[in-house]
């Protein structure tokens, strides 16, 4: 059976979290919170940490590693766009995807990033408890900032980061403290880093990309891959841009898999 056919069959297999007792760390009821992934591709799980939140998991026949997908602030978890396309297509190439429900509204961009960082940390621990350590985080917008700041921690538990349009929040009114924390995280990270951004000739976006590149150089980080896309921010990913993500993962597959102490697949 072709991988695409495999995924089409899986689209109808959306299981409520309360039925997945072997996947969640505790029980959940329909009254606790609405399921934001009712029509998503994969299996719904509930992670009982950070107050409890839903995630949508899709497994390939044989798993090479895990990609945690983080939507931007204010975007529905399974909205059409980058995260949804990566969630649906990466399992065809052997990568398990886990799209998590992001925090709701917050008083400021910095507060939201902090909440998103805690949720990412809880998700990584959830995977590690299942003996999964080959983990990459992919974040769009403010979620990319959260992934960067989490990666600056000594025990981040990641093997790589994919950023998508992280330049927008760097120019948002999130305060100088948030900007300093983000650039500090960029200068500290030693993880393979793919930096995708839609510029379409926009000076502010190009300037932000240059600032990120300077922060990376200050930290002496060599494995940094910036890629400016000619479409505008908010555009759907093109086949070309998706191929660039797939290719980056292929190039770093051995490094990502090296984080897995137990290579047996359950």
**Would you list the DSSP string of 60-128?**
-SS-SEEEEEEPPTTS-TT-TTHHHHHHHHGGGGTEEEEEEPPP---SSHHHHHHHHHHHHHHHHHHHH
pLDDT tens digit sequence for 207-227: 777 778 777 777 777 688 888
The percent of residues above 90 in pLDDT, for the chain, comes to 44
Residues sharing a CB contact under 8 Å with residue 212, sequence separation 6 or more, in sequence order:
166, 167, 170, 183, 186, 195, 226
Q: pLDDT tier at 234 (50, 70, 90 boundaries)? A: low
What pLDDT sits at residue 176?
A: 54
| pLDDT over 70 at 75, yes or no | yes
pLDDT tens digit sequence for 4-53: 433 433 433 333 332 333 333 333 333 456 788 877 778 999 999 888 99
Contact of 95 with 65, CB cutoff 8 Å: yes
pLDDT higher for 129 or 176?
129
Contact of 259 with 228, CB cutoff 8 Å: no
What pLDDT sits at residue 182?
A: 74
In the block, residue with structure tokens 């330049």 = 167
For the chain, the straight-line distance linking the first and the last C-alpha, in angstroms and rounded, comes to 21
pLDDT tens digit sequence for 77-102: 888 899 999 999 999 999 999 999 99
| pLDDT over 80 at 150, yes or no | yes
**pTM, to two decimals:** 0.81
């Amino acid at each position: 059976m072709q991988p695409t056919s495999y995924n089409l069959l899986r689209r109808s297999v959306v299981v409520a979290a309360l039925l997945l007792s072997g996947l969640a760390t505790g029980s959940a009821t329909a009254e606790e919170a609405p399921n934001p992934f009712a029509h998503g591709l994969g299996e719904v799980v509930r992670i009982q940490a950070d107050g409890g939140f839903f995630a949508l998991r899709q497994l390939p026949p044989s798993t090479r590693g895990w990609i945690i997908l983080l939507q931007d602030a204010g975007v529905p978890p399974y909205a059409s766009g980058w995260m949804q396309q990566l969630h649906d297509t990466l399992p065809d190439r052997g990568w398990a995807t886990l799209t998590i429900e992001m925090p709701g509204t917050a008083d400021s961009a910095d507060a939201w990033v902090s909440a998103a960082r805690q949720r990412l940390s809880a998700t990584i621990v959830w995977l590690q408890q299942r003996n999964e350590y080959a983990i990459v985080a992919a974040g769009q917008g403010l979620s990319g900032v959260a992934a960067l700041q989490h990666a600056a921690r000594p025990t981040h538990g990641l093997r790589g980061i994919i950023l998508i349009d992280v330049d927008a929040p760097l120019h948002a009114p999130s305060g100088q403290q948030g900007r300093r924390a983000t650039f500090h995280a960029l200068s500290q990270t030693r993880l393979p880093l793919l930096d995708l951004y839609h510029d379409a000739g926009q000076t502010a976006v190009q300037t932000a990309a240059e600032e990120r590149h300077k922060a990376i150089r200050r930290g002496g980080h060599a494995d940094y891959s910036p890629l400016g896309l000619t479409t505008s921010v908010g555009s759907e990913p093109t086949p070309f841009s998706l191929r660039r993500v797939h290719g980056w993962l292929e190039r770093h597959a051995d490094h990502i898999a090296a984080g897995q102490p137990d290579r047996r697949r359950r």
